[in-house]
């Protein structure tokens, strides 16, 4: 498996079932624990680790975990003024989005 940056296109954003996380401008995964309770409605984070992001399937506000991650990234940008990228662990079956 390989870590890949998500660019916002491709079928993987709907079909992908692995972990999705944010990376900050320093190149490190973003620990979401300090933001717990102050994240967009319809998202779950942190999940599976202090970094993981998922959409709330029952609320169905976001189409995918990638969309939920984008909402969190945008929210953190408004708080910190920094830009965040979305990353995921790709498998051999997947193509780069």
pLDDT digits (tens, 9 = 90+) for 36-86: 999 999 999 998 899 999 999 999 999 889 999 999 999 999 999 999 999
Q: Model's pTM, two decimal places?
A: 0.84
pLDDT digits (tens, 9 = 90+) for 16-37: 667 899 999 999 999 999 999 9
Please say if the pLDDT value at position 1 is more than 80.
Answer: no
Q: What is the pLDDT of residue 97?
A: 45
Token duo for residue 74: 């945008």
- Number of Cβ within a 10 Å radius of residue 92: 7
DSSP letters spanning the chain: -EEEEE-S-STHHHH--S-EEEE-TTSSBPP-GGGTTSS-TTEE-S-SSSS-BEE-TTT--SSSHHHHHHHHHHHHHHHHS---EEEEEE-TT----
């Amino acid at each position: 498996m390989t870590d890949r940056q998500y660019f916002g296109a491709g079928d993987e954003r709907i079909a992908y079932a692995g972990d999705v996380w944010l990376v900050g401008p320093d190149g490190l995964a973003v620990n979401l624990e300090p933001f717990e309770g102050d994240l967009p409605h319809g998202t779950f984070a942190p999940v599976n680790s202090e970094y993981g992001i998922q959409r709330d399937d029952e609320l169905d506000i976001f189409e995918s975990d990638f969309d939920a991650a984008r909402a969190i990234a945008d929210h953190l940008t408004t708080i910190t003024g920094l830009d965040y990228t979305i990353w995921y662990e790709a498998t051999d079956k997947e193509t780069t989005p």
